[in-house]
Amino acid sequence: MIETRIYVGLNDSLTKKQIFETEKYISVLRNVCFAYNTPFSFDVEEGGYIHENGDYTLETTLVLILIDAEKDTIDNIAKDLCVFFHQESVLITESRIRSYYVKETLE
Tell me, rounded to whole angstroms, the distance of Cα 106 from its chain centroid: 36
Predicted TM-score of the model (pTM): 0.90
Cα separation, 69 vs 13, in Å, equals: 27
SS3 27: helix
- Angle CA(77)–CA(19)–CA(53) in degrees, nearest 5? 75
Q: Each residue of 31-83: pLDDT tens digit?
A: 999 999 999 999 999 988 787 788 888 999 999 999 999 999 999 999 999 99
Domain segments of the chain as ranges: 1-45+67-107
Q: Each residue of 7-22: pLDDT tens digit?
A: 999 999 889 899 999 9
DSSP 63: E
